[in-house]
Amino acid sequence: MSLRLHDPFERRRRAGLQRTIQQSMMVIACIGVLALTYNFGQNRGDAEFHASRNELAELRKNKTELEKQIVALRAETLTTQTKLKELERQYQADIGDDHLRSFNRLLRERLASGVKPERLQQVIAATSNVRNCSSPETKRFIVATPLSKKEKSSDVSFGSGLVTITGNGMSATNINGGKEAWFDPAQPVNVSINVRGGQNITKTGPLPIQHSIIQGATEYRFTIAPSARSYAEVTADQCAYP
């Protein structure tokens, strides 16, 4: 009995058996860990796959909705463009002409100033291209300059003194660069048109200058143009208004 327990071969055999058992257990443990890891990874992969598939389905749904909205917006834009073209066509047909726009602006100004619509209608209805005018009347006056002296003929009047016209301008320059007493007709002239008991108007610019004044049932029309040296010539006529 004592010899069997101390047999070296028996000890080596038992030691080898223990190592085999230990190694087998380690292998089994590794296989278990690998199995658990694989199972965890597979579950996670399945979850990510389902999440991706759901996200893709949501994106496709959103894409479809966006496409529907784009189609609706294009249809709305086309409708708006059609309406805009119709409005432009109607605008051109109604007030697209420059004369009509000016006339429309003048009507608004007259109404805003207090003129009654009935009065404007009467005036427009009575207006025609054939006008009842007097023969033109021409007078001239001396245009004042910084070097000129006050002259008796420095103004003219029309309509029995109803309208008085004067003017002043810049002195002409001689060949030596000196200033003369007469005005330079090539430079702007200040023309003052004074209505007795009414408005005083100043118009500035190169000659000729035109202006009209309406007093009651008469329209006074004036054209101020250059004349002989120092002078401006005024041509006036009177027409029934309107």
**Per-residue DSSP letter, 149:** P
Q: For 134, list phi and psi in degrees, rounded to 5.
A: -80, 170
pLDDT at residue 11 tops 80 = no
Mean pLDDT of the chain: 82
Residue 184 near residue 170, CB atoms below 8 Å = yes
Q: What is the mean pLDDT of residues 219-240?
A: 90
**pLDDT of res. 3:** 47
**Per-residue DSSP letter, 134:** P
Domain boundaries, the chain: 2-93, 97-127, 132-240
Rounded Cα–Cα distance for residues 141 and 156 (Å): 6
- Residue 52 structure tokens: 């991706």
**pLDDT of res. 76:** 85
Q: What is the mean pLDDT of residues 83-95?
A: 76
Residues 6+ apart with CB under 8 A from 237: 133, 134, 135, 136, 137, 220, 221
